[in-house]
Structure 1
Amino acid sequence: MRGRRDMRVGFIGLGSQGAPMARRIVEAGYETTLWARRSSSLAPFAGTAARTAGSPAELAAVSDVVCLCVVDDADVEQLTTGGDGVLAGMRRGGVLVVHSTVHPETCRRLEERARVQRVSVLDAPVSGGGRAAEQGSLLVMAGGDPQVFAFCRPLFALYGDPVVHLGPIGAGQVAKFLNNVLFTAHLGLAADALELGDRLGLDTEGLGRILPRGSAASFALERVVDAGGTLRRIAAHAGGLLAKDVRLLTSIAETAVADSGSRPGPVREAARSALDAMGQ
């Protein structure tokens, strides 16, 4: 691996969260190469020091670390494999970072393929959205080799705080699912509390002002209050993604405890109830 000061970074996935992540890398002075399916995604980087590549493989050939921040498992598979994929261009000692939220098995399969080429893989999903990326305060949850993580940590710290290593490959994805399942459960509990207050004759607007300032405060409660006290707007915006993550964690958890006879815990039950209320 090259020294950290000379790290060359490739970035794929310039959406609402990935674009500000990439911009912070460029502005920090790292030699950065970008690739996108749509030229409109590259337009905001015109006039910056960022370079562009003609394919994922071309990007990987001039990068020591390649970051993927795309939507789903199919995108990760498509962009990393094949003649024009990232792995076709990466050289020995390179690092492929999956910032996407995907199934842990997708990351494990990718790690097995990359190992043949002496390329390392980290799964490092992020949470916080575009504003947190702009501010450098994304939550970065990483899994993979600790030494590879230590090498990449200064890069992650450009857009993440905290940046935490949680275990072997796939561990970051499981942590992201837990985060989203707990958030979903909190959404449901917050909406239920506001609805109960309304039924008991309380001024719901006033209740929405005091609860987020007391011991009941939570990020989910604030989102429900901002959405008018119900889950309808949240369901339209994020219901599908939350439902996907709850299903994936439930499947992983059921496999892990298949022989124990354990029932789903209250967090998963609360999250499932919230999704039912969202119509998911």
Structure 2
Amino acid sequence: MASIAFLGLGVMGYPMAAHLKNRGGHDVTVYNRTTAKAQKWVAEHGGAFAPTPAAAAEGKDFVFACVGNDDDLRQVTLGADGAFDTMKKGAIFVDNTTASAEIARVLDAEARARGFAALDAPVSGGQAGAENGQLTVMVGGDPAVFETAKPMISSYAKMVGLMGPAGAGQLTKMINQICIAGLVQGLAEGIHFGRKAGLDIEKVVDVISKGAAGSWQMENRHKTMNAGKYDFGFAVDWMRKDLGIVLDEADRNGAKLPVTALVDQFYKDVQQMGGRRWDTSSLLARLER
């Protein structure tokens, strides 16, 4: 049993922390900006809550974080009462936030300077994956540190892979989002075209999903898309945040991402339609407005 702090109890972090406590059997202390949510988590799962990231992290073997963006991550680690002020030497910081590769490298360097280690470990699988402990985790960092942390991460994951040095986990997550953006737009256009052609979408998908066009998005989102329901997963606001990170990185490394840039603008249109909290499959709503 390890002593663990978990910082951030959003729709992803809340169940991930629970899996560390209940499935992993670890001693977990949680922190959340809204204390009532941390108290609710403790009432449901046991463990303890702390009033600040620093208090949560003090003396712990592992400190996990799953917050909103780079700024939130800097605040809970390096800000006033940040976790890095109290983490003990030899501890491991595991960041499950989808953030930039730049902040991952900054935190890695800071951790090394302070005598502990850091891994960037963004996740894929959405809220359902977090609740079911079936996330895919893409990790950047030192191989020996990764092997030490892997059993803990596996408490909420079906796949945990080391992708390279610090920042490689975040870069891999960017590729994940690039691929999803293109797939969802293609699926939206396919359904839209099929409707205009007067075809039975269920029959169409039943056939083409078994061939080269098949994808997770097709299998898991076509029914709700066809029904015009868009409250099943990763929100448009979150996707635009992620695609912003992708496009910023592409500006730095020279990658050409014309489809990703275009789909990002399509999601901007969805936001302007009032779909900020719709799931990412709502690209179909834009085509049919």
TM-score range, shorter chain: 0.7 to 0.9
1:225 CA displacement: 1.8
1:21 aligns to what? 16
Rounded to whole Å, the distance in 2 between the matches of 1:198 and 1:48 is 47
2:150 aligns to what? 153
Flag the 1:84–1:14 CA change in 2: closer, same or farther, 3 A: same
2:32 aligns to what? 36
- Maintained 8 Å contact 2:202/2:223: no
Q: How does 1:221-232 map to 2 (within 5 A)?
A: 221-222=218-219, 224-229=221-226
Deviations 1:240-260 (A, max 9, x none): 322332332233234223xxx
1:96 CA displacement: 1.1
Does 1:187 find its partner at 2:184?
yes
Does 1:45 find its partner at 2:34?
no
2:258 aligns to what? 269
What residue identity is the alignment partner of 1:159? Y
What residue identity is the alignment partner of 1:15? G
2:68 aligns to what? 71
Normalising by structure 2, we get a TM-score of: 0.83
- Match of 2:148, SS state, is helix
- Match of 1:158, SS state, is helix
1:135 CA displacement: 2.3
* 4+ long deviations beyond 6 Å: 234-237
1:114 CA displacement: 2.0
- Maintained 8 Å contact 2:243/2:260: yes
2:250 aligns to what? 253
Flag the 1:166–1:276 CA change in 2: closer, same or farther, 3 A: same
Flag the 1:159–1:224 CA change in 2: closer, same or farther, 3 A: closer
Rounded to whole Å, the distance in 2 between the matches of 1:131 and 1:223 is 12
**Aligned residue-pair number:** 267
CA-based RMSD of the aligned residues comes to 2.5
Normalising by structure 1, we get a TM-score of: 0.86
Rounded to whole Å, the distance in 1 between the matches of 2:116 and 2:102 is 18
1:116 aligns to what? 113
- Maintained 8 Å contact 2:108/2:118: yes
For structure 1, the 5+ residue unaligned runs are none
Identity of aligned residues (%): 30
